[in-house]
Amino acid sequence: MNIDSITNGIVIDHITAGNGMKLYELLGLGELECSVAIIKNASSGKIGKKDIIKIDADIPVNFDVVGFVDPNATINIIKDGVLVEKRNIEMPEHLVNVIKCKNPRCITSCEQEIDHIFKLTDREHNVYRCIYCETKAN
């Protein structure tokens, strides 16, 4: 499958094999009306095997989610059939309302309309912790 098969849209490339579905779910891609393709275990000269997500629409993508799930992924923006932007992803310092704290003792388990916020505490090992109770995100 080629990138230029999309006219206007986004290709999330170089996703570590196995992370594609997690990214699909956290980005809420299942709710889109447009065509979305997940390619699993594609061959990659760079990382051996990779997942790819192709979104056939010019929609806003939460780059923080991509950086959290897989900072090695790249984002390609396609316009009029042409690759107009290739963007490398960085791990965000904070994740807001992307994932929920699983600690049943955390204040987020009962406080109404509270933002679920995680903070990057260990960049080397990709560790995020809840800002309220410090429980590790997984």
Partner 1 sequence: MKSLIDILDLTTQELDELIATAQDIIANPAKYATSCHGKKLATLFFEPSTRTRMSFEAAMYELGGNVISVTGAGTSSAAKGESVADTAKTVSCYTDIIAIRHPKEGAAYVTAKNATVPVINAGDGGHCHPTQTLADLLTIYREKGRLNNMTIGVCGDLKFGRTVHSLINAMSRYDNIKFILISPEELQVPTYVTKDVLEQKGIPYVQTTDLEAVMPELDILYMTRVQRERFFNEEDYLRLKDSYILNMDKLKNAKPDLSILHPLPRVNEISVAVDDDPRACYFKQVLNGKYMRMALILKLLKEAGQL
**DSSP one-letter string for 49-77:** EEEEEEESS-----HHHHHHH-TT-EEEE
Residues touching partner 1, count (CB under 8 A): 23
Q: Which residues pair with 9 in a beta bridge?
A: 78
Site string for partner 1, 103-122 (x = CB under 8 A): xxxxxxxxxxxx------xx
Tell the smallest beta-carbon distance from residue 65 to partner 1 (Å).
Answer: 23
Which of residues 22 and 136 has its CB atom nearest to partner 1 in the complex?
136
Q: Cα 23 vs. chain centroid, distance in angstroms? A: 4
In the list 22, 94, 119, 129, the residue contacting partner 1 (rule: CB under 8 A) is: 129
Residue 20 belongs to what H/E stretch? Answer: helix 20-26
In the list 73, 135, 137, 138, the residue contacting partner 1 (rule: CB under 8 A) is: 135
Task: Kindly report the number of other CB atoms within 10 A of residue 113's CB atom.
Answer: 4
**17 near partner 1 (CB under 8 A):** no
Which residues 79-108 are close enough to bind partner 1 by CB under 8 A?
103-108
Tell the smallest beta-carbon distance from residue 134 to partner 1 (Å).
Answer: 5
Task: Kindly report the number of other CB atoms within 10 A of residue 92's CB atom.
Answer: 20
Reduced to 3 states (helix: H, G, I; strand: E, B; else coil), residue 109 is helix
- Applying CB under 8 A, the residues found at the interface with partner 1 are 103-114, 121-122, 127, 129-136
